[in-house]
Each structure stands twice: as structure tokens, then as C-alpha cells.
Structure 1
Amino acid sequence: MNRLITIAAAVLLGLFAFFLSFFTVDEKHSAVVFQFSEAKRIIQKPGIYFKVPFLQEVKRFDRRIQTIDESTPARIQTSEKMNVLADTYIKWQIADVEKYYKAVGLNELKATERLRSTVNKMLRDEFGKRTVQDVITGKRDEVMRELRKVADADAEAIGVRIVDVRLKRVELETATLNSVYERMRSERKTEANKLRSEGAAQADKIRGDADKQKEIVLADAYNKAQSMMGEGDAKAAAIYAAAYGKNPEFYAFYKSMDAYKESFGKKSDVMVLDPSSEFFKYMKNPRAGGAK
């Protein structure tokens, strides 16, 4: 009876040891097989594996993407010595389990602290080269590309891959914000004054050009008018001369009619003349001077 009990116990112990000899690794994890705290095997592919029971143990490492999300924003100084609050997050994953274990062991906190320290240092270096405007708007993407490049190179040394580094937000401190507003107001005022000055100069130039063109046009028009008046007077004189040559008496009569018309254009007009004056010659006798 004792022998049967011993055999049964041995079988059960064997079965228990047999079941302890196998372990699985899924696609989410990598595994390291330890023997007396020394890494013997590194397993990075999913499957069923064998270990020596009671002598070896298995530690699994999460290969999924991890996130380091800062709880409080970092206070960083820009090239203008102005403080901003930068809130970041880092996404990373284990790329090489062997490197990772040798660098940080089983202490994941050590890995995250190293990544956090690298990113914060790079942020300070990059922000220190740039202005507030650059880090908030203009060159923010450039900063993050450079930061990720350097951080990924450092993370590779501990078997980690940086998936992404992002600035969730960048805010100005109250004192910095007031200083920036004052500077922006001053810059805009300076720019506005410059534009007004340039506009006034352009307006003066345009007015000067317009006045010059006006004088040129008026002078040209006056010269043309004088020329045309001279030509008209010459033609009129020629016509008068021709008319006088053909019939001097008729010409005299015509000129007298014009004189009468001009002299008595209004009822209120008054002239004081001797009735026997030559002026009334054609008024007294339309045929005077032999007119027919």
C-alpha cells in the first residue's frame, strides 16, 4: 500500500513538473527565461516554449505601444528669456528585449524616466534656440521633428523605439503673456506708423505727379487754344479783307449793323450821341453810301 502511494505521488509530481515545463508567449509580449536571476533565453515570437521547472522562471515584457503623459507641463525658456509651459506626451515601445533588459532590467519606471529626461532636455535645447512665436506657431513642427529624431537615437540604446512625441499645448505664463502682448502692440504700432508714412509719401508723390501732369495739360491746351485763336483771327481777317475788297460799302453796312446790335442789346442801354453823328448814317438812310 505504501508503495502504491509512493508511485502515485511520483506520478502526480511528474505530471505537475511536466505542466510547469511549458509556457506560452502571446503576440503582445516578449519573454526572458531566467535561471538563478541570470537571463538564459530571450523569446520575441509568440508560441509554446519549454523551461526547466523549479530552476527557471519566465518574465514577460509588454511589446505594445506605451504612453508617457506628463501630468504637469514643463516650464521652459525661449531664446528671448521668456517662460512658456509645454505639455507633452511620448509614445514608445520595446523594440529589442535583450537591449532593454540589459539597460533597465525589470524596472519599467527607469526606462520611462530616461525617455522623459531625454525629451525634456531636447525641448529645452530646441526652445532655447527659438522665439515664442516660433514654438507656438511658425516652427513647432520643425521642433518636434528634431526632438523625435534625437530622442529616438537615445532610446535605441536601451532597446526602445520612439513612436511619437507631441506637444499637446504650449502656453505662456501670465508675466510672459503680458510682455508678449506689449511687444506685439508695439510692433503693430511701429508697422502701422511705417505704413502710414509710406502711404503719405506715396500720396505726396502721386499728387505731385498729378499736379505736374495738370500743368503740362493746361499749358498744352493753352498753347493749342492760342494757336487756334490765331488761326481763326487770321482766317477772319482774310474773310473780312476779301469781303471788303469785293464790296466796301456792304462791308461798312454790315459792320454798322453789328455795332448797332452790340450798342442796343438791352432796353436799358443808354447812349448819348449827336444825332448827326456818322454812327447813325445807316439808321437814317439804309441806302447811304450808294447801297442798293
Structure 2
Amino acid sequence: MPPLLTLPSPLVAPYWLQQHLENPDLIILDATVPYGSNGPDEALGLASWAAGRIPGARFARLQSHLSDVTTGFGFSRPQPDALVEALAELGIGEHSTVVIYDNFLNMWATRVWWLLRGIGFERAAVLDGGLKAWVAEGLPVEAGPTAPLARADTPLHARALTGFNDVGDVLGRAGGGALVCALPESYFDGSEPVNGRHGHIPGSVNIPAASLLNEAGQFLPVEVLRQKLAGVAGAPTITLYCGGGISATIVAFALHLIGAADKVSVYDGSLEEWNADPTRPLVGGSARNG
């Protein structure tokens, strides 16, 4: 068997991906889920993928296939066996190397990357800057339908997902750990609501996911990320949340880039779940919450 394709980093540049497009072990996933009138809409992502994508890219179906749609909350992590099966249907198996991209701030790509990391799959990377960076380099795109995907011959092994926690973990969080809100400041301080409520979970600090990216949607240099994350990187545990467990994975990925991801968990339900119970406390927006 030839050697497996080796990633230079969990963050790859368009030129690296272009050089390896013909490698048979490479799987490229478009994880985009655009926002429609009623929130994230996978159908819009599928239409966008069909209209223009990196050559060979497969549409990840993050909202329907890589999430548990039975929980009542959007984008809940799937059960391990369901995740492995969905990945196998995308052609991802033991010998695959996966590069994930999206067309919006990297957050859909980092969500898929965090899921893969959670089941112990390490040959995965995010395309820095996503499709916009690819197009900006003048690299080719393709459009239209594709042939049916071949299922992976050697699927991944299902194992317990790590890197996530739930509302009980946050409510019972011991002192000493960091709790980080990845939403923009206007949501953190209560100026704007999340699911009808204002403010943030008590004890949390604000590191907006977008603050870790440049204007082109690419991650800031590692030395800059270290500075921006210095206030939480030394904590014994780091719990991240956002609106629904998506943009928090940008912060998780950035912490991975600086070598601090082993103590990171994403609160999967985030404020979508937290705010569903009006008795759960929030701070910063008490006047608005009534």
C-alpha cells in the first residue's frame, strides 16, 4: 500500500490543496450551511455547492447527515455509529485524508473538523479561508451534478465522541476552568438576543470567533492567536459555547493550533439549549430578559 497522504498542518493553504487534487486518498468536503430566512438551511448549501465548488468536493450535509436531528436542537452531535456511517457514505475511511472548507468564516468547516477529531480521526484539515481564498488565488471551480459517491471500503471505527459536553457539565462546572462565549460582543453583552433571551452564561468571558480571523476569513498567525487566547489557554479546562455549537469550534480549532486543544470541550447545545429553559441564569441582559 502506498504511504498515506500527509497533511502539513491542520490548516492548509489553497496551493497545497491544488497540488494534491488528484491524490486518490484525498476527500474534499464542502460543509457550507448558508443562512436562509428561517436560519441555517442545508438546501441552500447544496445549491451553492452545485453552482461552484472546488473540483472533486463532496457536499457534507452537515445539518442532516452529520448531526442528530432527533434532539430538537440544530446541529447536535450524532451518535458515533451514525457519524461513522455518514462519513463512510461520503467515502471517508481509514485511509482517507480529509480537507474541509466552507464559504462562511470557516465555522462550518471547523465544526466538521471537530467532529472528526472527536472520534480520533487525525488526517483532517481545514482549508484556510475556504472557497473565497481558493477563488481569490485564481484556482478552478467546477459545477453541476457529480457521479454517485462510492462508499468507503474500510469505514472508520466508531468510538465515543470526545471534545463535547452538555448542559449538566456547564451547570456543574467546577471552579478553575475557563468558560468562553464565541459569539460577537453584541450578543455577549445582551445588546442582541439569542433565542429570545439576552446575555451570557455566568462566569464566561468573550472571545468572538471572528476576532481570530483576518478580513479575508483566514486564521490569524499562530503567534497572534497565542496572544488573543492567552487569558484562557492556561486554564485546566476550557469550555466553549456560542449560539448552537458551530462558531465555538473556530475557537476550539484556534486553541488546537496553539497546542491547547486537549483540555477543550464544546458545549454542544450552547445558548440554543441553555436559553430554552428560562430559569437558567444569564448575566449582562437582565433588564431585557425581564
Q: Same fold (TM over 0.5)?
A: no
TM norm structure 2 = 0.21
TM norm structure 1 = 0.21
- Pair member with larger Rg: 1
Greater helix share, 1 or 2? 1
